[in-house]
Structure 1
Amino acid sequence: MSFFSFMQKRLRWSYWNAALLLIAVNIGVFMLTSMNYRLTQYLALNPLLMLRQGMWWQVFTYQFVHGGTGHLLSNMIGLFFFGAMLERHRSFGSSEFLLFYLVSGTLSGIASFFVYWITGTWFVFLMGASGAVFAVLFVYAVVYPRSTIYLMGFVPVPAPLLVIGYAGIEVFSLISGSNSGIAHGTHLFGFGFAWLYCRTRLGIKPLQAWRNM
Structure 2
Amino acid sequence: MPPLPPITQALILANVAIFCLDYFLGRWFTQLFALWPLGGGFLPWQPVTYAFLHGSIGHLFFNMLGLWMFGAELERVWGSRRFVQFYAAGVLAAALAQLLVALLLGSPYPTVGASGGLFALLLGFGVLFPNRTIMPLFPPIPMKARTFVMVFGGLELLFGVLSPTGGVAHFAHLGGMLGGWLMLRYWRGQPPFGGRGPRRR
TM-score in terms of structure 1 length: 0.81
The alignment partner of 2:39 has SS state of: helix
* Amino acid aligned to 2:60: L
The alignment partner of 1:161 has SS state of: helix
Cα distance in 2 for residues equivalent to 1:86 and 1:186: 21
Cα distance in 2 for residues equivalent to 1:156 and 1:202: 30
- Alignment length, in residue pairs? 186
- Pairing partner for 1:105 from 83, 87, 91: 91
Higher relative contact order (CA 8 A, sep 6+): 1
Deviation at 1:94?
0.9
Matches within 5 A, 1:186-197: 186-197=172-183
2:20 aligned with 1:31, yes or no? Answer: yes
Cα distance in 2 for residues equivalent to 1:54 and 1:189: 19
TM-score in terms of structure 2 length: 0.85
Cα distance in 2 for residues equivalent to 1:162 and 1:144: 11
Deviation at 1:152?
2.7
2:74 aligned with 1:74, yes or no? Answer: no
Deviations 1:41-75 (A, max 9, x none): 2110111xx53656111111101100010000000
- Pairing partner for 1:142 from 118, 127, 148: 127
CA-based RMSD of the aligned residues comes to 2.1
* Amino acid aligned to 1:84: A
Q: Is 2:96–2:175's contact at 8 Å kept on the other side of the alignment?
A: no
Counterparts in 2 of 1:18 and 1:113: CA distance versus 1, 3 Å: same
- Pairing partner for 1:164 from 146, 150, 154: 150
* Amino acid aligned to 2:109: V
Cα distance in 2 for residues equivalent to 1:124 and 1:152: 29
- Pairing partner for 1:173 from 155, 159, 171: 159
* Amino acid aligned to 2:149: V
Deviation at 1:106?
1.6
Deviation at 1:165?
0.3
Aligned to 1:5: none
Identity of aligned residues (%): 34
Counterparts in 2 of 1:98 and 1:181: CA distance versus 1, 3 Å: same
